[in-house]
Chains A and B, each alone.
Chain A
């Protein structure tokens, strides 16, 4: 059941990432076009590209953690027995969940709450910054979901 849900989520997140990446390419192309061809550079493209980049980065980190593709040093772990490997992997997952909960969920929600409460807007686009930062808790939830489902799979 959980693996089915996981597959669907993977699919959804990867499509969101593809769309954001596509938008980012368009924005940067538009920036170059207005600057060199129209000679009247657009004022909001740089900011939009930056925020899209933040979304790709943070959401991408969640996606990659679902694929277990984050950078890691597996030299030592491969030297131990299979049973020890499993124990170490479980400990690693607990550490990741603890970190993500503190930094992404708790810290991220606090950041979103403060920027929302104090009504901060971006200089060029005038969009609320809390919207941009909202990706942090979302990505945190995704990572926790992936790691919990990993844990369930290990225990089977």
Chain B
């Protein structure tokens, strides 16, 4: 009898304790709305810095009622996994490259086409215009609310041994591409042979000669330390592939009007901040790789444009995508 009684009071105590613990954990975030943001870049990257800036803006605007919690360096998964988490509703926000997003929202493929934009200014004006916002809102169908574009510069080829001055130099070279169909087609049409390899394995693949080169923007070339292996960087700027900031539609719909406004405002400010940071980091990384002994080649871009212009025709059958191509080409 005593034994049962003891057990009973023990149970009661445990139950009270659990309820107590449950309630303390609740009071902390009852009136602070926390948005969780996962991305794959390191904390030194300009995108991450802009996100930290975004958090401070939203904190200031909402007087501490809303915060953005950032999980960098693929802590919550790769870009693809983060997008899936957004669709399921397990994660609130993420930043992915347009190259990853095209597998979820087909119209985004347009950014993967080579020499779509005449120059950087053209790309900024398109992204800021209704063409950019049309493409962003197109992702909403796939339960991903596009918030803004971050600058990710222009991608160029880098190689181990062969200098690339014109597209003919690419003939027979194995070039690593992202898991994206447009990147694959782009390298093919320029004459190289595309090889999809995951980003994490790229350094050793370059070292062992599994591929002869890869393509990326200057800060990634520098931060990934691929310049230690690849000594030639050809600034042909074939694709201007932006990063996209997205929110889960589940989260977006759960926010009230005021909170949506806070998000929109802070995103806008962080985009401006990020473009500044990006320009700075681009200059710094080019300088740094030059210091490290990389030869930077500035080729005649016209040759590359000429070689790849037929790629647009192959998208004629896809009228929705082709419409976007035409709109971008016609815009100022």
- Chain A positions within 8 Å of B, measured between CB atoms, are 35, 39-41, 43, 46-47, 110-111, 114-115, 118-124, 126
Contact = CB atoms under 8 A, between A and B. Distances in A.
A110 B88 CA distance: 9
Given A118-B104, A124-B196, 17 more contacts: A39-B174, A41-B193, A41-B195, A43-B196, A47-B179, A114-B88, A114-B143, A118-B141, A118-B143, A119-B142, A120-B103, A121-B103, A123-B179, A123-B181, A123-B196, A124-B181, A126-B181
Contact of B180 (A120, A123, A126): A123
A39 B193 CA distance: 10
Nearest to B143: A118
B223 interface: no
Given A35-B210, A43-B194, A118 B142 contact: yes
> Which bucket holds chain B's interface residue count?
10 to 19
Interface in B82-135: 84, 87-88, 103-104
A43 B88 contact: no
- Binding site secondary structure of chain A: loop
A43 to B, nearest CB: 6
A117 to B, nearest CB: 9
B210 A123 contact: no
A122 B184 CA distance: 14
A40 B142 contact: no
Contacts of B196: 43, 46, 123-124
A118 B193 contact: no
Of all A-B residue pairs in the complex, the 3 with the closest CB atoms, nearest first, are A123-B179, A118-B142, A41-B195
Contact of B87 (A114, A121, A124): A114
A35 B176 CA distance: 13
Interface string B160-202: 0000000000000010000111001000000001111000000
A139 B272 CA distance: 49
Contacts, number: 37
Given A111-B88, A120-B103, A124-B179, A43 B174 contact: no
Contacts of B180: 123
Contact of A118 (B87, B174, B194): B87
Contacts of A119: 142
B129 to A, nearest CB: 27
A124 B84 CA distance: 18
Contacts of B103: 120-123
Contact of A43 (B104, B142, B143, B184): B184
By CB atoms of chain A within 10 A, which of B143, B196, B210 has the most? Answer: B196
A111 B84 CA distance: 9
A114 B179 CA distance: 22
Contacts of A111: 88
5 contacts: A43-B196, A110-B88, A118-B141, A119-B142, A126-B181
Given A35-B210, A118-B87, A118-B104, A41 B174 contact: yes
Contacts of B179: 47, 123-124
Contacts of B174: 39, 41
A48 to B, nearest CB: 12
Given A40-B193, A43-B194, A120 B104 contact: yes
Contacts of A39: 174
A130 to B, nearest CB: 12
A126 B180 CA distance: 11
A123 B143 CA distance: 19
Nearest to A45: B196
Nearest to B181: A123
A28 to B, nearest CB: 15
Contacts of A47: 179
Nearest to A107: B88
A47 B184 CA distance: 14
Contacts of A35: 210
Contacts of B181: 123-124, 126
Contacts of A114: 87-88, 143
A47 B180 CA distance: 12
Nearest to B105: A118
A95 B167 CA distance: 62
Interface string B270-286: 00000000000000000
Nearest to B88: A114
